[in-house]
Structure 1
């Protein structure tokens, strides 16, 4: 109702301004004797002149504008409506009125109409913005990141009618030349957030969703740490209306900035050369790493892609995703368990894969502490089964996915990965298949990792639980992990263990605090952090290289080879490769794991 009253107010005012403009034009265009004649002539057609101009104002939606902020594009609509109405009046005057009004009078009057109507709008707009831009008490003051169109639209919306929220200025790293946007000052780049927040009392910085990327996060995170302001991601209304934004996107915050380093860049050409036209098998294809690995492999146009896993739902989901994204590819879903040697042999005999990526594994540390026998059978004997099938059926490349938990292991899961790495090195010594291992840290965003757990705790209002204030981990994104796996296959000669340069380890406490900030909250003030205690099998710090290993550079600047010196322990011969003694008993499995864990060396 308020908007209708406002529109009617502007219509009445415009009727007055239109007629005043024609009266003034009449005065300027005639001498004393002709004024009365022209006035009588105009009054005869004044209703039609006014109606024509108002119709064009309606067609150009002049009365649907809110006019809370001075945007020149909106003033253009008045100019366009006025110009076209003058052209119509000239035509009507020539054809129907037979030149009743002088052409110069119509042109001058049209100019006065556009000028007067536009000036009144602009004056009211500037006065409104000036009053709204004054710092007021009792409202939440916010900064807006970026001075581009999405940020300008956000500012307009807040200025127009968002009670209790007052934008006080813009922070922009690209538009330093601008001094004002929508009547609000551009206060500087990200480094000025702390100063601007203190000066204007801003509690939050609003970031348009379309502006958020890794570069933006890398600039904002250090600034909001020192400024103690909340950061909130705000979707653009235009994106919501046009269907380009979905609420699910809110979950996909740029977590790769939490790594504290530049992401690994893949060497796609090298990867493509051995995957294109090959039959590729991925075990654990329904898992976090396995499913992303399938997506990346599919990009290189393999002849066939076999998706092996024991969970039917996850295998079905990745098969469906691949069919949608790669319609020319025909993925082959296979439900099988790597512990079942007979089933594996059927798969290898049928498809004869040329490249094998072994991603199937149990990786949840506390859970494996409670289920050590299953961890051993799946992670060690399952790896042995897949490796022996690859050897028997003459696969060209075999890439085993390991973990930094295998280095100087303190957990059952780490011990099983340690043994599995030894199995792969042993197979590489006598096989024509090029067996290699890739070893990396915690994968951000994978199932069971710390990131989904933290996000769930933040969504529930906290507390976010950290097991020790000094605990740190090496982190890698899922994309980086998959790139490393594919690169390892390209560089494989046989027997290598590849390790990615993951920079410095990240403290879990810092990770939790930055994640809270990325979600729009302040650590401790909005979301509490609770220190618990290390879980069974957890180490305070992880390592990337085993005792007796040293890093060697490779053809890729971000990938190292863990070169091992000295002889391997004979534990494989005593437990895994023993001949004629049947399957390992549960007691022997536990004894093997205990032997590895008891020989752990405390890091210096």
Structure 2
């Protein structure tokens, strides 16, 4: 839209605004003089224009320019504009007094000078507010087909929402609901508060609302679950306003309505890292991220770029994922230096070349296979990619004097019952074994399931619901810990920036979530009813799966850290010589595709590993029933 069209759309031309304001200055000055002498018999001359009037106009025009009064638009006049008007009025009267003081304010009554800034503020602010109210009214009246909206909440978010709805012209707010008793019967932006949240069904019928909008961004998970249940009882579609974190991360825009996400219902309070510590640690560094195109790896790249690294080296085996993350980083962070290394992080030659060529300060090792049932039938790949590739990267970092090696692990490594858990636990032991008093600092970060990652349960359930069901759950009692991708990456950065050598860190993830409850919530969010519109089918635990996961071993003696949401695990006793010595045997077994030997080495090195299925090399059970409905984190 051109500059002229923008003005035609509701913004007054700036020259007209300036002329209006100068006219009001002149009128204010003359009217105050007229009022001052109105009751006197001997009235001095009050010319329409003289030297004093010229001084007043010039001084006030300069004051308007100084405070930036004309940067705002009448269409969106607000309290900030009124403050600028008051400021300009007081600056103007001070300038007038200083200029006219050379002739001792001859002919200028003190009462006029005292009343002038207040009268001028009213004359300038009144038309602006009237113009905005008129435009808001026209916006509401311009579209008779505007969708009728009932707003849940009556706080600051609701006030902003009502303003945005009026400006859009596509929606009409017909009422608000709030549980605060002192607000009942009041009005917000002219919209009545018609009852409490429990009244939503009856009020929605009475107002003929077609859409419900939840405008309470501070709700915790329990409160959100209650509000969602109330909204569902009406049978109407519902949306919510974005949270502050969504706006800051760029995942939502101001004024944009969004569907309620499953993350809003799981009780996960956003983690707030020590930003000063994280930025101070990252600023100016070169970091290398393995698995840089995956769910965790790509978010790590974004977070590092956002918080001050000078250069990011992407190590990724998939050229498609590599191109995606490289393009995104170059587009959003044009001053960031991005280097690409295409290949397998388990290739010693490639790894040595990447480290010697780019000299990273920190390596984030996020590349891994993560699908529990699939890896049960592919033990060799679990060992090769999760254990041996970690050993390759970790030893190369020590050889090339990399400052920090951060290994991304999983809660499946605690009392492992699967190939994934055992291979990841072995990798944890490698990092702790290589850790020395000097040289590379090895840090392990262990967390649970990641919502929305590739192959994870949420996108699987979403796709099953889209197809009309059934939604497949392995067992009615199965539960998992959950966290979001950004939250997981913030934990990694926080732990890496503040950790001690060889430590294992874990996020305080609250209570585990029953997968059946997760399925039911997602079905309801899709506007369906569980067991009525969408069936839930229980398929039985698959190879390698446990009913419940643990965050720590019982003898790790977890303890708090300087961050209230980050816990540190104590180092369990183990033989570093055995861990490192068995690597050679493990490589030989992988080269020979000797599954029995691999299983024997894993069991000897990780004695707590107790496979739930005997046939570790057996085909994937249940593959014809469930297309890997992972209760696990997806590929990083």
For the superposition of Structure 1 and Structure 2, which TM-score range results when normalised by the shorter chain? Answer: 0.5 to 0.7
Alignment of 1:197-236 (within 5 A): 197=201, 206-208=211-213, 211=215, 213=217, 215=219, 219-225=223-229, 228-229=232-233, 230=235, 232-233=237-238
- Counterparts in 2 of 1:159 and 1:351: CA distance versus 1, 3 Å: closer
Matched, 1:282 2:289: yes
User: Residue 454 of structure 1: CA displacement?
Assistant: 1.3
Aligned to 1:517: 524
Aligned residue among 403, 412, 422 for 2:410: 403
Aligned to 1:171: 177
Aligned residue among 505, 508, 512 for 1:505: 512
Aligned to 1:365: 372
- Counterparts in 2 of 1:273 and 1:287: CA distance versus 1, 3 Å: same
Aligned residue among 423, 435, 441 for 1:416: 423
Aligned to 1:475: 482
Aligned residue pair count: 452
Question: What is the distance in 1 between the residues matched to 2:349 and 2:236?
Answer: 55
Alignment of 1:251-290 (within 5 A): 253-290=260-297
**Aligned partners of 2:373 and 2:544 also within 8 Å:** yes
Higher Cα radius of gyration: 1
Task: Classify the secondary structure of the residue corresponding to 2:292.
Answer: coil
Aligned to 1:11: none
TM-score, normalised by the number of residues in structure 2: 0.63
Query: Higher mean Cα deviation, 557-566 or 338-347?
Result: 557-566
User: Residue 513 of structure 1: CA displacement?
Assistant: 1.9
- Counterparts in 2 of 1:546 and 1:438: CA distance versus 1, 3 Å: same
Question: What is the distance in 1 between the residues matched to 2:351 and 2:273?
Answer: 31
Question: What is the distance in 1 between the residues matched to 2:541 and 2:184?
Answer: 51
Question: What is the distance in 2 between the residues matched to 1:393 and 1:438?
Answer: 22
Question: What is the distance in 1 between the residues matched to 2:576 and 2:403?
Answer: 28
User: Residue 431 of structure 1: CA displacement?
Assistant: 5.2
Aligned to 1:455: 462
Residue segments in structure 2 that go unaligned for 5+ positions in a row: 1-74, 76-133, 242-250, 613-636
Matched, 1:589 2:589: no
Q: With CA pairs under 8 Å and 6+ residues apart, which has the higher RCO, 1 or 2?
A: 2
Matched, 1:542 2:549: yes
User: Residue 149 of structure 1: CA displacement?
Assistant: 6.8
Question: What is the distance in 1 between the residues matched to 2:259 and 2:437?
Answer: 45
Question: What is the distance in 2 between the residues matched to 1:579 and 1:540?
Answer: 30
Aligned residue among 415, 437, 447 for 2:444: 437
Question: What is the distance in 2 between the residues matched to 1:543 and 1:184?
Answer: 50
Question: What is the distance in 1 between the residues matched to 2:274 and 2:563?
Answer: 8
TM-score, normalised by the number of residues in structure 1: 0.66
Query: Higher mean Cα deviation, 403-412 or 251-260?
Result: 251-260
**Aligned partners of 2:507 and 2:566 also within 8 Å:** yes
Alignment of 1:96-175 (within 5 A): 144-146=151-153, 148=159, 150=161, 170-172=176-178
Task: Classify the secondary structure of the residue corresponding to 1:535.
Answer: coil
**Aligned partners of 2:465 and 2:534 also within 8 Å:** yes
Question: What is the distance in 1 between the residues matched to 2:252 and 2:365?
Answer: 36
**Aligned partners of 1:373 and 1:590 also within 8 Å:** no
Question: What is the distance in 2 between the residues matched to 1:150 and 1:408?
Answer: 49
Aligned to 2:382: 375
Query: Higher mean Cα deviation, 219-228 or 373-382?
Result: 219-228
Task: Classify the secondary structure of the residue corresponding to 2:330.
Answer: helix
Matched, 1:530 2:560: no
**Aligned partners of 1:410 and 1:600 also within 8 Å:** yes
**Aligned partners of 1:305 and 1:332 also within 8 Å:** yes
Aligned to 2:396: 389
Aligned residue among 503, 510, 513 for 1:496: 503
User: Residue 521 of structure 1: CA displacement?
Assistant: 3.2
Computed over aligned residues only, the root mean square deviation of the Cα atoms, in angstroms, reads 4.0
